[in-house]
Structure 1
């Protein structure tokens, strides 16, 4: 997963420079695994009992100690996430202290806890952005998928309150079988609220479902996910930009030079970006379970050095390196491990996903060509 995929041009330049110098400029703190919702596809959430069986929440002072070390090492961009980060007992104090250290903060939230008081807090202490996940277009989705009746109305109200405070908000949509028909409506809701929408149609397999066949998992089956991806991109981009996307994507597939060799990670993870989970384990990204090292045991710099060195050792499938579908495929180290249990594994899910994406783009390109030259039929 690429960190800060919605970064500005200046932010991307800073990230690229940090990648070359191996400076940990971007990170995320998973403050806790607890959440007031219980979404079927979640791979993070634990109940309070499950959490206590595995460990404890880190104190405010523990996080601030690590934050001071992060500051000295060059960390600038920081994402606060969870679970639901607003449930962290000392969230506001931690947030303010991190801002005082010069951190540029982004917050991931499900939006249900954004009331007037919380919106005003963010209005007085503006983050870089607040990412709000919208799990469906009505209360039924929140009841059936998130097991949180009344959640939809709370999220919409929360977004409105944040907008009233002049806060930059982005809606993230996560498609599953329970809400797969909501693509267009989610985009419409974003338009109505004047908030950009980014719909994620590829979901990592939930921990509780990893050993089940695709048709028994909460996430969409591969070809359904590909179809939803195309539909979402079309809605997000608009017809003109989407036509350019089709042309560019097909050109890349047709002209890619493939070589069968073991691949290496090309993203920012472990190069200039990291995550620290609620137990204090640093990892290259939020969806990778290893390599991992406890920052509370060895300190931030030693943990970062270990993560960099171990990330450099990760090799990816040579079959993937030689695949013509690479420009359309979303396979990365994290998804390979999550899907197959092996960084060098070839995820069948992603193969089907990319193959169907290509088929759909080719079909749409042909339709557009026929439409463009339909006037010829008038002379026959």
Structure 2
């Protein structure tokens, strides 16, 4: 998982590539609060207020601002503000404006249900790079099943409409589970109707983090269903011509991938190399789904915490079996997912093996439907 890093242009792509090689932390995710007005079954961050208070407290505005100055000096430029529901953070507006004034490029993850005219006005006057609003269904019943908050659907859609009219860049995210998989086409329809890009995720990692039980034992789809949904939504998101080209590119890449070396591989994404996350408790980690390695950034200081995280990330090794697999360049696996799926960094995450194999099968079937074999 790469913290929703999306490049706007070639300059950004080159910037991240240079930062990756030099271990410069250009991208950070700040989890401002674990509190949320919804209670989605698959969320591994959300806590009730009593659960939060039993584990710690939210950091104050002054604490985040002092840390932000250290982050800027270290090279941080892009920040994703998230939660929980970040708009519930008591000093969100003050922190947001201060980060903008520092020159930070801000993205906000939100469920959208709190965005009323006042919030829309705020974001129209202080525009972020983008606001990502997750739709958990295409109706109130879908929201009730997964989020236990039926009225959230209408509020989220109104938020998207209002922000778009105010000239704020919005993207719709979707997280598909057994409880809402039937809503995937409806969510895509909403994106088309509102002229908003949609990105639907069908792999739900069994994250635990501050919660007590992994999502794998709650309501995620089996690998076959998740893969089928993945390919279906990709075709709709891309359109037939781009989808065909993408499929042929992936098949060609697999054909040209020889058997790898029999040795463990490290973290292959940007986590712990040029990106990081800081939890609501002030713990720096390489990635949003990981609990370890972890550094108390408010005690250690940003620079030292980042140095420690990069060194510890280098020591994380994945499966030597995965490093030999001919599907390794297409598969979404990584040591962090292996740990969550199987309990060890160097394990083979069988769920993802099946997810990848089924995805290739459904790609072929979709190409046949298009008339391209």
Aligned pair partner of 1:299 in 294, 298, 301: 301
Q: CA deviation at 1:211?
A: 6.4
Q: CA deviation at 1:248?
A: 1.1
Aligned pair partner of 1:267 in 269, 282, 292: 269
Aligned length: 369
Q: CA deviation at 1:209?
A: 8.3
Q: CA deviation at 1:181?
A: 1.4
Q: CA deviation at 1:257?
A: 1.7
Once the two structures are superposed, the pairs formed by residues 145-164 of structure 1 within 5 Å of their partners are 145-164=146-165
Q: Which residue of 1 aligns with 2:24?
A: 23
* Change beyond 3 A, Cα 1:335–1:210: farther
Q: CA deviation at 1:254?
A: 1.7
Give the whole-Å Cα distance in 1 for the aligned partners of 2:18 and 2:166: 33
What per-residue deviation string (whole Å, max 9, x for no partner) do you get for residues 196-216 of structure 1? 00000001125368568x6x5
What per-residue deviation string (whole Å, max 9, x for no partner) do you get for residues 285-315 of structure 1? 1111111000111100000000010011111
Once the two structures are superposed, the pairs formed by residues 1-380 of structure 1 within 5 Å of their partners are 1-8=1-8, 9-207=10-208, 217-259=218-260, 260-365=262-367, 371=371
What per-residue deviation string (whole Å, max 9, x for no partner) do you get for residues 104-128 of structure 1? 1000000001100001100000001
SS at match of 1:244: helix
What per-residue deviation string (whole Å, max 9, x for no partner) do you get for residues 26-71 of structure 1? 1010001010000011111111111000001111101111001001
SS at match of 1:264: coil
Give the whole-Å Cα distance in 2 for the aligned partners of 1:5 and 1:46: 25
Q: Normalising by structure 1, what TM-score?
A: 0.94
Q: CA deviation at 1:372?
A: 5.8
Q: Which residue of 2 aligns with 1:377?
A: none
Q: CA deviation at 1:2?
A: 2.0
Give the whole-Å Cα distance in 1 for the aligned partners of 2:73 and 2:297: 14
Give the whole-Å Cα distance in 1 for the aligned partners of 2:81 and 2:22: 25
Q: CA deviation at 1:361?
A: 2.1
Q: CA deviation at 1:328?
A: 2.8
Give the whole-Å Cα distance in 2 for the aligned partners of 1:118 and 1:367: 44
Q: CA deviation at 1:251?
A: 1.3
Q: Normalising by structure 2, what TM-score?
A: 0.95
* Change beyond 3 A, Cα 1:106–1:372: closer
SS at match of 2:80: strand
SS at match of 2:39: coil
Give the whole-Å Cα distance in 1 for the aligned partners of 2:212 and 2:284: 25
Q: Highest CA radius of gyration, 1 or 2? A: 1
Bigger shift: 103-112 or 334-343? 334-343
